[in-house]
Amino acid sequence: MGESGYADAVSAHYTAGDLGGKILASLRAAGKDTDTLQVDDLAQIDQLHSGGAQATRALIRRACLQLGMSVLDVGGGLGGPARLLAHDAACTVTVLELSEEFCRVGEMLTGSVGLAGRVSFRQGNALEMPFPDGAFDVVWTQHATMNIAEKERLYREVYRV
């Protein structure tokens, strides 16, 4: 399967249909007021990697990020780590995500916790990043690389941006 077919297959795998509605319904069922959500209210559903929010926060502490840094989160899913980077480390974060649905739902969740001005989403392929050279201070990823077969090409792009 070529890279384009592989990217399509991964994107299709992560498409659920009405994911945003399902997430909001599950938050309400858990007793959350979806009009007053906080970043930590989303942790059980938006930290799609080993260790959850605790692991993300540990990485943030070790990354020595500085106030206002521009971060690219490659394969950032629904944006859980990006929202923690923006909330806890005061970074501006762009999520590059293959799944259009994850971008849409991520934007909705980000707006619901008041971080729309600091976290944005861009649908795209990590092997052909739609950003100019040197666009970010930091490139971040948590577990997304397991879905990318062409590691050398990926890391060339990471270095470039």
Can you read off the two tokens belonging to residue 55?
Answer: 């692991």
More confident: 52 or 136: 136
User: pTM value?
Assistant: 0.87
List the domain boundaries for the chain. Answer: 3-160
Q: Residues 46-89: pLDDT tens digits?
A: 887 889 999 999 999 999 999 999 999 999 999 999 999 999 99
How much is the pLDDT for 12? 54
How much is the pLDDT for 147? 87
Percentage of the chain surpassing pLDDT 90?
Answer: 81
Pick from 12-21, 52-61, 63-72, 110-119: least confident = 12-21
Can you read off the two tokens belonging to residue 157?
Answer: 């792009």
Q: Quick one: how far is CA 123 from the chain centroid?
A: 11
Q: What residue ranges in 84-123 does DSSP mark as E strands?
A: 92-97, 119-123
Q: What residue ranges in 82-158 does DSSP mark as E strands?
A: 92-97, 119-123, 138-140
Using pLDDT thresholds of 50, 70 and 90, give the confidence band for residue 130.
very high
Helices 100-112, 19-29: axis angle to 10 degrees equals: 40
Reference 86, options 102, 112, 103, 67; nearest CA is 67
| HSE-CB of 47 using CA atoms within 13 angstroms | 18
How many Å apart are CA 95 and CA 75, to the nearest integer?
Answer: 7
- For domain 3-160, give the CATH number: 3.40.50.150
Q: Residues 90-105: pLDDT tens digits?
A: 999 999 999 999 999 9
Can you read off the two tokens belonging to residue 118?
Answer: 């600091």
Instruction: Quickly count: other Cβ atoms within 10 Å of residue 13's Cβ.
Output: 11
Q: Quick one: how far is CA 118 from the chain centroid?
A: 13
